[in-house]
Amino acid sequence: MDFKIEIAKLLDSKIESLNQEEIFGLIEYPKNTEMGDFAFPCFRLAKEYRKAPPMIAGELVEAIGQVEMLESVEAVGGYLNFKINKEVFARTVLEGVLDMGDDYGKQTVGENKKVIVEFSSTNIAKPFHIGHIRSTMIGNSLNRIYKMLGYDTVAINHLGDYGTQFGKLIVAYKLWGSREAIEKNPIPELLKIYVKFHEEAEEKPELEDEARAWFTKLENDDKEAYELWSWFREVSLKEFNRVYSLLGVEFDSYDGESFYSDKMGAVLEDMRNKNVMEVSEGAEIVNLEEYDMTPALITKKDGSSLYITRDLAAAIYRKNNYEFFKNIYVVGSQQKLHFSQLFKILELMGYAWSEDCTHVDFGMVSLAEGTMSTRKGRVVFLEEVLLKAIEEIKKVIDEKNPNLEGKEDVARQVGVGAVVFQELFNNRIKDYTFSWEKALSFEGETGPYVQYTHARACSVLRKADLDYKNEIDFSKLDDKASMDLLRELAKFPKIIQDAGNKNEPSIITRYVVGIAQLFNRFYHDNPILTDDKELTKARLSLVYASKVTIKNGLYLVSIEAPERM
């Protein structure tokens, strides 16, 4: 039973000037639960009824009368406050969780429609650094949220595996590279020669011309250029996949920029036929001035492609191949103009589905000493951060619980979880400065705090020798701590919908922190294993529901939930 819907139905039968959907939209959750579980403001009705809102609220109380699911209906000021019958509420919430078990939160609102989520999109032969955690973890979380809502998702890692930088890398490798050194330590060695290229090119600008020539060879399927590029890609992916494995991130497709290299010709031809492009100083552009955007450069003077050329080909391929309902790009906010141009060009090409493409942007990560720069070699490797966090957790376990079963695995779950939770706790659009101290802090509103709460709930359930899933007396759960926790657990399906509608994983992280806090208050105020068998069963069912909700919430933000800590 969705009590908000039931109250909307009830009011719909008493209010003629509003329909059920309008009433549902007006119903609120009072901040002070002592006032009620739901509140309906009567101010909208004042003009229609030609009465003051408090008087309207009083008349509605009389009209509603006694209702089985309600403990009380009261008029307070211009509001109608509803208190749900505690036993009915506890039964409805807990039977729902007990019935669904680990599937609690799963929904069918997506109707199996296809949703593309493009995220991470790391650059081949460049470091997988701390800055990449944003796109990677926001995207992975959205992929899971949409899947939980019943959409058929496709997770795409649009690899940066094409472009002039590969010409630079080929030149750098031929001048200073060692195959043996790169095989042994791929990314740091490739970064070293890439940085060296930019240092040397400042003195010898002819290196840039040489790099462009090698990229042209690559575009023309030159054997040596292609073999070197393939090798750079292979050794890079091997390194990246080790980090993805640590983070629990999986993709359905690694089709990167290179995948679309043979698909751009048809797109360019289509744009020319539709007169979308014009020639400017030998290059081809789309003039977007009337849409308050700078012109979009589509091909350079020498005919070579750019990011937007490949993105146009990718979007059209995805629509043709997947027939998507939504096409989501999880890319930093500095690319806002790029995606505004991309979507507008698709619209100008006559593709109505351009409005189904969404740029989910986010703020940037910087270092205390300044902005990260691959060209200058100033980066913090993400794997280094994760491994350091795991090591710190190992120390804590060795100190506090040295005999913990599977402590290596728990250290990985908690260490990685701490870093990921910090990343996804704040609104995605906010910039932040990476700090080792913050990343490794486990106090307060953190991943380890929520994980520990889950482990505590598991411990209580292990110790109990009772069937807490059948014949429960829900009237036993009438205290404030139990009711506060139940109210929050009931919101989980709606919280997932909100996170999906706003493409905002922090809604989930903040929710699970709230559940953990309410559970710990309930645990503190109420002995679980008591002499009263019926009371114990009822409280154990609430412990179980809390455990399931925390575990499922953590899963949505790509964090594991250890059963022992």
Indicate if 524 belongs to the active site. Answer: no
User: Residue 357 corresponds to which amino acid?
Assistant: C
List, in sequence order, every residue forming a beta bridge with 296; answer none if it has no partner: 286
For 161, how many CA atoms within 13 A lie in the half-sphere containing its CB? 24
Nearest to 498 by CA among 185, 3, 105: 105
Joined together, the tokens standing for residue 534 give 């019926």
Region label for 562, one of left (φ > 0), alpha (ψ between -120 and 50) or beta (otherwise): beta
Region label for 125, one of left (φ > 0), alpha (ψ between -120 and 50) or beta (otherwise): left
Q: What CA–CA distance (Å, rounded) separates 305 from 264? A: 8
- Give CA separation, 140 vs 147, 251, 330, in Å: 11, 9, 10
Joined together, the tokens standing for residue 281 give 């100083």
Q: What CA–CA distance (Å, rounded) separates 471 from 37? A: 26
Indicate if 198 belongs to the active site. Answer: no
Kindly compute the dihedral angle of the four CA atoms of residues 475, 478, 484, 488, in this order, to the nearest 10 degrees. Answer: 10
**CA distance between the termini of the chain:** 36
User: Residue 156 corresponds to which amino acid?
Assistant: I
Indicate if 126 belongs to the active site. Answer: yes
| Tokens 């929520």 -> residue | 450
Instruction: Select which of 126, 326, 359, 454 is catalytic.
Output: 126
Instruction: Could you list the beta-strand ranges (E) of 201-338.
Output: 278-280, 283-286, 296-299, 326-330
For residues 316 and 357, is the Cβ–Cβ distance under 8 A?
no
Nearest to 476 by CA among 547, 528, 520, 549: 528
Q: Which helix (H) or strand (E) holds 79?
A: strand 79-84
Q: For residue 364, what is the DSSP state?
A: P
Q: Which helix (H) or strand (E) holds 116?
A: strand 114-118
Instruction: Select which of 129, 158, 168, 454 is catalytic.
Output: 129
Instruction: Select which of 83, 86, 132, 551 is catalytic.
Output: 132
Joined together, the tokens standing for residue 481 give 């701590």
CB within 8 Å of 13: residues ≥ 6 apart: none
Helices (H), 16-118: 20-26, 46-49, 53-64, 86-100
Active site residues: 126, 129, 132
